[in-house]
Amino acid sequence: MSAGYFPKREKLGLEDLFKGLVTASHILHYHGVLDAYGHISVRSPDNHSTFYLSCNISPALLSSPDDLTEYNIEDATPVEKDAKPGYLERYLHSEIYKRFPTVNSVVHSHCSDVLPYCVSGVPLRATGHMAGFLGTTVPVWDISSHYPSGSKHDLLVRDITVAASLSATFKPATSAGFLYSKMRSALPSQIGGSSEPSHEPDHFVVLMQGHGFTTVAHGIEEAVYQAIYTKEAAKTQTAALTIHNAYFGGTFEGKVDVEGGGKIKQGKVKSEGELKYLSDREAADTWETNRRTAMRPWGLWCREVEVCPLYRNECPGGDDE
């Protein structure tokens, strides 16, 4: 991790963290990743088993530490008994932090630019170098087979069991990354083995059927970067698919009028050209480069929300003042 609240700021204070979390919520709203719904959380730097998430308030209207609630990762209960009402979907955050100790920030979004890739079967891919963190596959998690009996089928991640299923999708048990980390943990350390399997997720983004997406990161700035560029990648891919299909046409199959004889025959016209997405190597290398520069857009985005009168950040202190 090269940039972010973890672990760059070795003596990160809570004031810093709260100010950054409120700013991050404003940035995500400003860029259309969050509207009146959706949320960003951050793990506590003082206590690895808790995290901070806003109370049940629109992200744009967060303004002070009083709007933030500390939750236990174990069961998503508030640390303080008299906490303000929170989000139903806080379990989504807690189960990701529980499964991945290296994840320190989570964004959950219902962004309408991404939603088509959650329902159409068209895979979201990295169309440009700013979206290398998407890799070459972005899983789509479908809640429909995970509803507990008797529960509402409203697509919300409202309990630990459902949330655990979502968090597992970031590192599927059959994935190459999962098997590799298992294999490494089984080898003697002299030949590259490690005593612990890797706790890094295989994917930074998981799409949620009919719902939106969730992205995980090592710090607030990276989480914001990934959320914004997931939206941008979806917009770019949609535009590319649109002009591609308009120019090359889709596959046409059926009876066609064959020129000359006026006969009607079966025919098929294939579209031409293929969209070119980032290769596995390109995705990995571009993200390795770009994650080192995440503080550059962060500085711009902070200023954008700072000068916009809609947003108020009354958190004291912090490096961003």
Residues tagged active-site: 89
C-alpha closest to that of 131 among 240, 18, 260? 240
Residue 14 neighbours by CB distance under 10 Å: 16
Report d(CA 293, CA 290) in Å as an integer: 5
Report d(CA 110, CA 35) in Å as an integer: 8
**Total residue length of the chain:** 321
Rounded alpha-carbon distances, angstroms, from residue 70 to 44, 81, 93, 192? 8, 11, 12, 39
Report d(CA 263, CA 253) in Å as an integer: 16
Helices and strands in the chain, H and E counts: 8, 9
Report d(CA 245, CA 268) in Å as an integer: 16
Q: Is the CB of residue 311 less than 8 Å from the CB of residue 19?
A: no
